[in-house]
Structure 1
Amino acid sequence: MATDPALLARIERLESLDQIRQLPAKYALALDMRDMDAMASLFPEDVRVGREETGRKAFRAWMDRTLRSPFTGTSHHIGGHIIEFDDADHAQGVVYSKNEHETGDEWVIMQMMYVDNYVRIQEPDGPRWYFARRLPLYWYATDLNQPPVGDNKMRWPGTEWTEGNFHKLFPSYAEFWAREGDHGGPVAEPAPFDGFLATMRRGADAPRVKVRAD
């Protein structure tokens, strides 16, 4: 019996989507439960750690150090997740995350998004998707009893307040506030199915981010 190549490709794409969708949820659970081996297993063997180190062991050690201070406990709540494929073995995505952190005598809430790159690697038990990179973009962080209205919404206890980078990957936010009303031009055509994120970014470079283990 002949097998339809198009059907096989669609099944493979669905399996890939399911694996990728589970990665952020697994990341959140491993982080909140402080299972550093489970966390490291979500990244490839050659994961880059800072500028000089690579490998899961180095990544595990960095996460272990980072999650000891100032955090006591955390809870990460995963939101909407957009996934787009570059090819059969590479994909990118954006996923929202609403986080809570116990930090001494303060309870810090945070809204952010992760801009992810994913890679599929052939393993002995079959192909598996991993995070290739996670870029965290923050909107705010503040004590539960202190609404983050106004400028400089990143307000970690004991630190100088700074601006987040939540909107900086997508030019539309600054453009919206730079004009007084609708721009009046024609409505753009819908983005290609696997080009929604690229269309929204319009070639914008990723902002520089001081990475936290959020």
Structure 2
Amino acid sequence: MNDDIIKRIDRLESIDAIRQLAAKYSLALDMRDADAWVGLFPEDVKVGNGETGRAALRAWFDDTMRQQFDGTSHHIGGHIIEFDDPDHAQGVVYSKNEHETGPEWVIMQMIYVDRYERIDGRWYFRRRLPLYWYATDLNKPPIGGRKMRWPGREPYEGGYHDYFPSWKRFWERSGPDESPVAPPAPLERFIETMRGGAGAPKVRVR
């Protein structure tokens, strides 16, 4: 078998393994299996506040899930995966979520912006950036601005459109775009092309 075929098979297997990561993340989260969930991240995962490691991430998971939610369900949608090299990739994943939180049933639409890394033959999340369009009680459509509307909190923006500058440019125009149509994005550069060199937004995590 020649090197090209081997590389293509490896790429296909890597795509499937990364897609499985997103599905495993949702299952472990919704079933509250903290060990399974943190095992999807590398041993040196950054947790925040200067903390690193799976033990610190598991403590964060336990506190967050116990304090905020009675139950959750995360439904994975479209998943774009692009490779920087054979052992590093990035992706964008749609997720539609439901949360039982006290007396309210909160629905959410979001995307995850991911970085993946293969370590010792196994793919992990190196980083997940959650970007939210809305969160609201099932019976309260989130019309208007500040669509992140958690019970007992002031509404805020979730950064859903901030990662890709096309949203802002679209609404800055008063009519059709008169510039020349851009050529198709290079292979493995669809996300990067849509980003257009924009900086990463700062997003408030729920």
TM over 0.5: yes
TM-score of the pair, normalised by structure 2: 0.98
Question: After superposition, where does 1:35-184 map in structure 2 within 5 Å?
Answer: 35-122=33-120, 127-184=121-178
Q: In 2, Cα distance between the equivalents of 1:181 and 1:83?
A: 32
In the alignment of these two chains, the number of paired residues is: 206
CA distance in 2, matches of 1:117, 1:99: 21
* Structure 2: unaligned runs, 5 residues or longer: none
CA deviation vs aligned residue, 1:150-189 (integer Å, no higher than 9, x gap): 0110000000011221000000001111111111121100
1:200 pairs, out of 169, 187, 194, with: 194
Moved over 3 A (4+): none
Q: Deviations over 1:114-146 (max 9, x none)?
A: 000000001xxxx11000000000000000000
Taking the aligned partners of 1:211 and 1:118, their CA distance within structure 2 comes to 20
CA distance, structure 1, for counterparts of residue 80 and residue 149 of structure 2? 28
Deviation at 1:190, TM superposition (A): 0.3
Determine the structure 2 residue equivalent to 1:30: 28
SS of 1:68's equivalent? helix
How high is the TM-score relative to the length of structure 1? 0.95
Identity %: 68
Return the letter of the residue paired with 2:142: P
RMSD of aligned alpha carbons? 0.7
Deviations 1:57-100 (A, max 9, x none): 11111111111122100000000000000001100000000000
CA distance in 1, matches of 2:181, 2:92: 24
Shift of 1:41: 0.5
CA–CA distance in structure 2, aligned partners of residues 159 and 36 of structure 1: 26
Displacement of 1:210: 2.3
Q: Confirm or deny: 8 A CA contact 2:89 2:116 kept in the other structure.
A: yes
Structure 1: any 5+ residue segments left out of the alignment? none
Which of 185, 202, 214 is the aligned partner of 2:179?
Answer: 185
